[in-house]
Amino acid sequence: MFAQTFCQVSISRICCVHKEWKANLLKKIDNYRPTLADVAAEADVSAMTVSRALREPGRVSEETRNRINAAIEKLGYVPDPAARTLAAKRSDIIGVIVPSVTNSVFSDVMNGIYSVAENTPYQIQFGNSHYSPIEEERLLRTFLGQKPVGLIVSGIDQTPTSKALLEKAPCRVVQIMETAPDPIDMIVGFSHRDSAVAATRHLLDQGYKKPGMLAARMDPRAQRRVEGFRQVATERGRWNEEAVVMTPARSSVTLGGHLMADLLSKVPETDAILCNNDDLALGALFECQRRGIKVPEDMGICGFNDLEMMAAAYPSLTSVRTFRSEIGKQATHMLLAALSGEGPAEMMHDVGFEVIARQSTQRRPG
Amino acid sequence: MFAQTFCQVSISRICCVHKEWKANLLKKIDNYRPTLADVAAEADVSAMTVSRALREPGRVSEETRNRINAAIEKLGYVPDPAARTLAAKRSDIIGVIVPSVTNSVFSDVMNGIYSVAENTPYQIQFGNSHYSPIEEERLLRTFLGQKPVGLIVSGIDQTPTSKALLEKAPCRVVQIMETAPDPIDMIVGFSHRDSAVAATRHLLDQGYKKPGMLAARMDPRAQRRVEGFRQVATERGRWNEEAVVMTPARSSVTLGGHLMADLLSKVPETDAILCNNDDLALGALFECQRRGIKVPEDMGICGFNDLEMMAAAYPSLTSVRTFRSEIGKQATHMLLAALSGEGPAEMMHDVGFEVIARQSTQRRPG
DNA sequence: TTGTACGCGTTATCAA
DNA sequence: TTGATAACGCGTACAA
C-alpha cells in the first residue's frame, strides 16, 4: 500500500564535498568589511559625516553626499547593526510574539506585519510562545534584552509579570487579536465574543433549533467565543450545556470529525453547529458526509476565520470572516506612526468581522 | 445576507489612555540595566571573570562562579547581545530565508527549525523572499550584515550573485527542501522529481489510464514535480501535454476547482489527477462532487505534502507525504553540529517521502 | 555644514 | 584561575 523511496548519497560524494568546503574556508578568511572610517577616508570626509549622510541625508550638503554615496558603492559598505545598536542604545528590532507559527491565523498576521515592515529600516523578530504564558514571559525578557523599538504581542492575557515588563518597557507596545478597555499601550483586533454572538444569531435566524458548538485549543480567545455562543443560546432559550463539545487539544480537520461524532452521540437531535475554527468545520462537514447527514438541510455548519477553502468547499461553508492580515498591517502601521513621533491617530483599533453566509447554513431554500 | 458588526471606541476612552501612557513614559526613564561591570563589582571580581563565568563556566573556580551567579541573580543582569556581537565579531543569529510564511509547507519547516533552536543560545531570524530570487539576494545581504553564525536558505536555485555571497559567507550554510549533487555547504531535503515519479506510478498502478496534472505557483520545485510526472507518463505511453494544467498563480483550494474545470474542458476523458499540492487536490475533489463525478471510481486524485486534512476528507485523499518539520529540524541539527566544531555526520541528508494511498485513488475495490 | 572626543557593553589577547 | 588593556564600529553631544 505504501511506497517509500530514498535517495542514496554516496560516501565518496561526502568526502569530496568536505574537501571543497575546506578550500572555501580559506577563501572566507579575506572577509574584510569596510567601516564608516573606510568610507570616510575614501570620500575625504569625517566618519561622522558619513554616518549623517546615511541617517539624515538632509543635513549633509548634496555634493559631499554624492561623494559619500559613491564611496559606499565602491567599497560595498554595509552598516553594522550591532555597533549601531550599541552606540544608539536601541536597536531597530520590532519583536513579535505569537502563540503559534503553524496556525494559519497567525501566519496571516505575520504576513501582514512583514508586508508593512518590509520597506522600513526595522527588523521583525518573531517569537513563538506555544500558547504558554510562561514561554511568553521568557520570550519577552529575551526581546527586551535586545532593546527593541517596539513590541507586538498576541492577546491580552499576559501574566502579571509580563504585563509589568511591558508597562515599563522602554518601547511602544501593541497588543493584537483582541479588543480591551485597558490596553497596555496600543491595541488592534476585534471582539471574539461579539463575533460568536453574531454567528450564533445567524444560525438561529436561519431556523436551526438545536445549536451546538465545537471547540478546541481552548485559549482565551476560544473561550470568549464559547461565551458569545452561550449568551445568545441562553437568551433565545436554546442553551444546552451538553451540546458544547470542547477539548484543549490542538485543532485539526480530523479532530473536527471526532468532535462532531462526539456531539452527535451526546445530543443526536443537534441540527446546527458553530465551530471554533474552520478546520473543525471542515472536519465536521466530512463527518456529516460520511454519515449521510445532509448539510445544510439536517445540519447547519458555521466555521470561524473564513479561510480561503471555506468558499470553495461543497457545499460552501459559512464562516465568520476575520481580518487577520489587516490586524498585522494595522498594528505595524500604528507602531510606525508612534515611532515617527507624530503619534498614532488612535490607540485602539477594531478591525471588526463579518458573518459570511453560504450554503452550509442555508436551511430555508433561498 | 451579511451581518457586520463593529465595536465602538469612545473618544473619551482614547484620551484617557493617552494620558496614562504619558505617565508610563516617565516610569520608563528609570530603565537602568546592570552591566558586566556592575555584576563584577557586586561579586568582587573583574568584568572579564564574569564574562567567562557566563560563557566558559569550567574555566572559573566554583566558588567565584557561585558568587557571580548570585550577583547576576540579585541585579537581574541580562547580557547585551549588541555589545557581545560587536566585540566577538559574530552574532548568535541563524538567518532563515523562506519563500513564504503563509504557505503551510514552510510554516511546518519554520516550526521544525524553532523547535530545535529554542533551547540553544542561538536566535532565529526569518526572511520572506516571496518566491523572488531578487528579494532573496537582498535578504541575504541584510542577513550577512548581521554576521550570522549560520544561514538556512530554501531551494537550490539562488541567483549567481546569491550563490557567490553564500560561498564566501563567513558562516555555515544549509540549503533545504531539495537534494542536489553540488550543495553550497550542507543540504537537507528530498527529490521532488522522484516523489512525483512515485505518485504517478501509483496512479497508473491503480489502473487509471488518462492521468492529468494540476499545478500552480510554478516555483522550481513545482516544475521538478511536473517533470517527474511527465517522465513516468511518457514511459508508460500515457503522456498528453494537454492534460497538464499549470498556472503561475498562488495555489489555493478555489484554484484547484478552477484548474480541475479547465482540465475537464480540455481533456474530458481524464480519469486521474496528480496535484501539485494538497490545496489543489481538495479543490479538485470539491469540483468533482459539484459535478457528480465519483471519486475514486471516475476520477483518481492524488495530492502532495499530505497535510493533516487529507486523511480526514471524505473520501480520504491520497497524497505524497513530505517531512517538512523534519527538514527544519535536521537542517538546524546539522548546523548546530557544524558549529559545535565536531562537524556534522553528513553534509547531505535526504529525508525521503512516502506515497500514502487512500480512498481517492482506490479504483479497484479492495 | 562638518568635525572631535568620548562612550556604548562586551570579548580577545596577553600577562600575572 | 584571574585580571588589565585594547579593540569592536558606530552615535551622541558639543564645538567649530
- Say what the alpha-carbon torsion angle A293, A298, A304, A305 is, to the nearest 10 degrees: 80
Q: What is the CA radius of gyration of chain A?
A: 27
In three-state secondary structure terms, A173 is strand
Q: Out of A10-24, A265-279, A283-297, which region has the weakest mean confidence (pLDDT)?
A: A10-24
**Could you read off the pLDDT of B225-251 as tens digits, one per residue?**
999 999 999 999 999 999 999 999 999
Q: Which residue of A has its CA nearest to B20?
A: A185
Share of chain B above pLDDT 70, in %: 90
Distance A27 CA to C5 C1' (A): 38
B314 pLDDT higher than 90: yes
Average pLDDT estimate for B118-137: 93
Closest CA to A276 of A258, A292, A252, A299: A252
Distance A114 CA to D15 C1' (A): 42
B27: Cβ under 7 Å from strand D? no
Q: To probe the interface with A, which of B204, B308, B356 has the most A CB atoms within 10 Å?
A: B308
Q: Residue A154: its pLDDT value, please?
A: 98
Q: Residue B5: its pLDDT value, please?
A: 31
Residue that is written with C-alpha cell 499549470 in the block: B246
Closest CA to B271 of B240, B304, B300, B229: B300
State pTM to two decimals: 0.89
Residue that is written with C-alpha cell 479561510 in the block: A307
Of residues B363 and A10, more confidence is placed in: B363
User: Which residues of B are less than 8 Å from A252 in CB distance?
Assistant: 308-309, 312
- Say what the alpha-carbon torsion angle A247, A249, A251, A254 is, to the nearest 10 degrees: -90
A352 and B78: CB-CB below 8 Å? no
Q: Out of A5-14, A201-210, B323-332, which region has the weakest mean confidence (pLDDT)?
A: A5-14
Q: Residue B363: its pLDDT value, please?
A: 87
Alpha helices in chain A (DSSP H): 11-29, 36-43, 47-55, 62-75, 81-88, 104-117, 133-145, 160-167, 192-205, 220-235, 253-266, 278-291, 309-312, 324-339
Q: Residue B30: its pLDDT value, please?
A: 54
Tally C-beta pairs within 8 A across A and B: 224
Average pLDDT estimate for B348-353: 97
In three-state secondary structure terms, B34 is coil
Q: Residue B17: its pLDDT value, please?
A: 39
Q: Out of A14-18, A165-169, B200-204, B264-268, which region has the weakest mean confidence (pLDDT)?
A: A14-18
Residue B10's pLDDT band (cuts 50, 70, 90)? very low
Q: Residue A184: its pLDDT value, please?
A: 96
Q: What is the set of domains in chain B, with CATH numbers?
A: 31-79 (1.10.260.40), 90-190+325-352 (3.40.50.2300), 192-322 (3.40.50.2300)
A339 pLDDT higher than 80: yes
Q: Which nucleotides of D are covered by protein (CB under 7 A)?
A: 1-5, 7-13
Residue A119's pLDDT band (cuts 50, 70, 90)? confident
Average pLDDT estimate for A204-222: 97
A132 pLDDT higher than 60: yes
